[in-house]
Amino acid sequence: MTRHNDNVTRSLALAALGALAATALVACAPPVGVLVRHRTPALVASDLGKHRLCLEDRDPVSGIEAYQPCRSVGSRDFVQWATASYDQAEMLVAVDRYERWIDEPKALTRWNTLVERAIDVYGSPTEASRERATSWQLVPPSALYWSAHQVGASVVVLAYLTPTAPHHAHIVEVVGFDARTKIARPRQR
């Protein structure tokens, strides 16, 4: 009987460690703004691949690429996807990376982690970066809380959203590269 209980305990411990490792892997991923410094589609695809996102579709008319999870490895607590928008000259205009979580507390914890990491990497948000994010239309209308960080000529916005149909995202991380971000971009997948 003791041997059976030890095996059950060991199995439960391994399952808990696996779940913790999957969650920790997500929490350790750097903000997408750190990764997306290049403006060519191939380099953006490579950078988003570091988030385990793979190119699914590219619309040549709109210049928008859709990225989905490469495979079902990692946490079952969330799903992520991204879009990359390009202008007519194939220059990257913006990257939007979304996360949908299974429950609100985990989503809020993740958002707080991303904001803390953004402050560590980019410095504190400024009024100028908030004004630029607003004028470039980088803040989604469903944002409950948001933080904007100036990074050279780009702005990184982290927004905690009111989940709305059809995809119910909790978090979006937007990297806008210049005033051209005013072109039409999708807000959600």
> Do the beta carbons of residue 79 and residue 68 sit within 8 Å?
no
Helix or strand run (H / E) with residue 83:
strand 78-86
Q: What size, in residues, is the chain?
A: 189
Q: What is the pLDDT of residue 31?
A: 56
The DSSP output letter for 1 is: -
Helix or strand run (H / E) with residue 15:
helix 2-28
Q: What is the pLDDT of residue 159?
A: 95
Average pLDDT, the chain: 76
Q: What is the pLDDT of residue 28?
A: 41
Give me the mean pLDDT over the 101-110 stretch: 92
pLDDT digits (tens, 9 = 90+) for 56-87: 999 988 889 999 988 765 567 888 899 998 88
pLDDT of residue 109 exceeding 90 = yes
Integer Cα distance of 101 and 171 in angstroms: 9
Of 38-42, 84-88, 96-100, the range with the highest mean pLDDT is: 96-100
Residue from 68, 85, 79, 65 nearest 137 by CA:
85
The residue with greater pLDDT, 37 or 19, is 37
pLDDT of residue 120 exceeding 50 = yes
Integer Cα distance of 25 and 20 in angstroms: 8
Residue from 67, 60, 69 nearest 84 by CA:
67
pTM of this structure: 0.75
Q: What is the pLDDT of residue 22?
A: 32
pLDDT of residue 179 exceeding 60 = no
Residue from 178, 132, 176 nearest 156 by CA:
176
Instruction: Give CB contacts under 8 A, 24+ apart, made by 119-122.
Output: 119/149, 121/30, 121/31, 121/33, 121/34, 122/31, 122/33, 122/149, 122/150, 122/151, 122/156
